[in-house]
Amino acid sequence: MRPTADDRRTLEAGDWFAALPVERRELILGEASVSAVPDGARLYGAGDPPNGLWAVLEGQVRLIGYPASGMEILVRILGPGVWFGELSTLDGGPRPHDAVAFGSASVLHLSPASVARLGVQDGAFYRDLGLLVCANQRTALAFIEQRAAQPVAVRLARALAKAADEAGSPSPLSIRQAELASVVGVSRQTLNRGLRRLEEAGVVALGYASIAILDPARLSRLCNPEAFGR
């Protein structure tokens, strides 16, 4: 299925696609296909060869990593307008993560052949892909730095705010505490204490495998380390 006008608006709400020249957006949409995927569908798996570039149009896709045997971590929650799969598309290497639909979703896909044609039609497309890689790399580096240097309370607030932003909605977040603990870099017990404090303060409400953000403005303030020094 070809992208619709609504699909275009969703993509243009995202930073990367919106920054492209109009003519390059048209070329991309002309090569793209759209499909609905059911809950749990795997778009690609860790170690797989590249199968093209993807974007979320509706619902969520989650990137899941396996840093050690028997360990699974939630790397990112991707919501509407977010592109992914650019690293292996650009360097030809194996996929570093699983990409799995969380709930029913709609995704846009550029096959490897489509990517190659876009590169021939407009060589600047490969620079665009490079910029997408750089943007995601900067996000990853900022995450590593804050995880190493910031208090647990700040890391938790930032993880919740980031998950809400990437999911495209502040509430409720469908996320297990084990997944959130891996993102924050703490034990389940430490995470639970932090969440309970946020719940007691009226910032969040905890449910089964879900977290409702009741006060996004205060959560945003708690992302600042200085908020805990007052």
Tell me where in the chain the CATH 2.60.120.10 domain(s) lie. 5-145
Q: What phi and psi, each to the nearest 5 degrees, are found at residue 168?
A: 85, 10
Average pLDDT, the chain: 90
The reply to whether CATH 1.20.1740.10 applies to domain 151-228 is no
* Region of residue 47 (left: phi > 0; alpha: psi -120 to 50; beta: else): left
96-142 tens-digit pLDDT: 999 999 989 999 999 999 999 999 999 999 999 999 999 988 888 87
Q: Which amino acid is at 32?
A: A
Q: Considering only the top CATH level, what class is 5-145? A: mainly beta
Q: Which parts of the chain fold into alpha helices (H)?
A: 5-12, 15-18, 22-31, 86-91, 112-121, 124-149, 152-167, 177-184, 188-200, 216-222
Tell me where in the chain the CATH 1.10.10.10 domain(s) lie. 151-228
Model-wide pTM > 0.85? no
Q: What's the token pair of residue 86?
A: 């650019």
